[in-house]
Chains A and B, each alone.
Chain A
Amino acid sequence: MSQAFRYVLASHGSSGPFGYGDALADQIVSAISLGSISVGERLPAEIELAGEFNVAVATLRKSLALLRDKGIVETRRGRGGGTFIVRVPFPSDEQISTYLASLSIVAYRDYGDEHTAIATGIARLACQRAHSQAISELRHAAQRLDEASTLAECSAADSRFHTQLGVVSQSPRLLRASMRLQSEILALKWSPAGAAAQKSEVLADNAEIVEAVAAHDIERAERAVEANIRKTVYSLIDVKLTIESNGADPLTVE
């Protein structure tokens, strides 16, 4: 986890684009929004995190309190307690462009490979294990996207749908892997500066997955999730190449 923070800091400099008026809070949010740390994950211990950002623990606490106020992190006491990421803020177009330009095509293809492996595994298990109640819960989750209006809402609803698919698979480990992979891709998928997903199209894609699971048709469900991921990854690679052929220097876009 701490390595992921280092990676983001190295490629994006120290000033985050979120404008919380607190440079450290901005840096942490950048790391979250770009998927270096995912929703549901626990932040490292305060002392470790302070070391990572090279600040005093008291400074870190102040920034975390700000993020708590903004509903981005949540601190839970007791068993399994700690500070958890609860919401991914939606990044700006500039931030998306910078990020797309900074990654290689190979990095995207490899992301797509991992996500496809996990998502088709989930789809297969969901087809085998879904009973009527589970299918109705999946339909309920798919419905949320229909009701979403802003990009952030669409992205959150899309995330809830894929999370519910993980729930239907009955595998807590695959669900965790899926949530990590989703938080890497969702903002890039929905942002107009990224793959610019269209709500009507994603609704149709998700409906196809629901119908395949309801029919317990493994091949059809695997095909649907694979096509879904491929579409996003291919389009991100195209956007990245367009940015490069336009000669934009990713390091000066911010």
Chain B
Amino acid sequence: MTNATVRDAAREISAWADGLFHGLEDLERKLSAHLTADFAGEPPFEVGRKARAALGVDVADFLGAHSGFDGAGLIFKLDLLEPSTARIEWWITDGDDIARRDFILDRSSDRFYDYEYLEWFEGGFNAGTRTLAGPYIDHLGVDDYIVTLTVPCHVGDRRVGVAGIDILMNDVESQLIRMLAPLGHGAALLSRHNQVLVGNSGELSTGVRIAVMPPGFSRLPLEVAGVDLSLLYRDDES
């Protein structure tokens, strides 16, 4: 395999990931602008009816314009919200429609969606960086096998939560498998945990953790601002 082939594939995959985050950052700016009035002063905050309707319109536009996303919206740091009305502002695609999705945020419930310790919230909110989390099974969330991308969400100077998008692993796979194809059999996109997001061989299938670099393979970090992704490929000639 030539260096040029690897570089081209790396560039295409980096552009794909960077494009997803740029789209998400645009969405975050649009959505957070609707919260200025409701999130003025001191917490607890409450997303009012008017703001919620505006969020819904923008998320629906976003999901309509970017096919292949399972859902998108805002997720807040829970203790900033008024407990009795706390919700995740999340919408999912449902065929040609967009539907609101509710989650159980009652801490005493057996089915409480305990998200603040999950990687996408830890990264997007606590670390305050672009975060690509997964692949993971979003139990009690959307209950699907997905990746979630998040960026911090700010209203004024205050970080209030994250903006995020979900992509089903089936869809991530169909997009990436095409970009990996020029690298031949045995190439994979790895997460920051060296876990396979998508790979094009059985040994490198989604979810496999590469604990030790296999012989005959090389790893190239991708240049995507703020995100630690790398490309694993066969390097038999060396």
Contact = CB atoms under 8 A, between A and B. Distances in A.
Contact of A170 (B92, B93, B95, B135): B135
B118 A137 contact: yes
Grouping DSSP codes into helix (H, G, I), strand (E, B) and loop, the A interface class, with mixed when no group exceeds half, is helix
B117 A136 contact: yes
A137 B193 CA distance: 14
Interface stretch (A17-25, A61-69, A94-102, A123-131): A123-131
Interface in A174-189: 175
The number of chain B residues touching the other chain, given as a range, is 20 to 34
Given A130-B209, A175-B139, A140 B117 contact: yes
Nearest to A174: B137
A87 B111 contact: yes
Given A78-B99, A79-B99, A132-B193, A216 B139 contact: no
Contact of A79 (B94, B193, B208, B209): B94
B94 A131 contact: no
A137 to B, nearest CB: 6
Contacts of A156: 110
Given A79-B95, A133-B122, A136-B117, 10 more contacts: A78-B92, A79-B92, A86-B111, A133-B193, A134-B136, A160-B110, A164-B139, A167-B137, A170-B207, A172-B145
B200 interface: no
Interface of B: 92-95, 97, 99, 110-111, 114, 117-119, 122, 135-137, 139, 143-145, 193-195, 206-209, 211
Contacts of B118: 137
Contacts of A160: 110
Contacts of B92: 78-79
A195 B156 CA distance: 56
A171 B206 CA distance: 10
A36 interface: no
A29 to B, nearest CB: 16
Interface string A106-140: 00000000000000000000001111111011001
A163 interface: yes
Given A87-B110, A137-B117, A128 B209 contact: yes
7 tightest Cβ-Cβ pairs between the two chains A and B: A170-B207, A131-B193, A156-B110, A79-B94, A78-B99, A78-B94, A167-B137
Interface residues of A, number: 28
Contacts of A216: 211
A85 B122 CA distance: 30
B212 to A, nearest CB: 11
A167 B136 contact: yes
Contacts of B145: 170, 172
Contacts of B114: 140
Among A137, A156, A171, max chain B CB count under 10 A is at A137
Contacts of B193: 131-134
Contacts of B97: 78
B94 A175 contact: no
A130 to B, nearest CB: 7
Interface in A185-213: none
Among A132, A133, A175, max chain B CB count under 10 A is at A133
A216 B210 CA distance: 13
A146 B37 CA distance: 41
Interface in A24-63: 40
A131 B208 CA distance: 10
Interface string A142-168: 000000000000001001100110110
B95 A131 contact: no
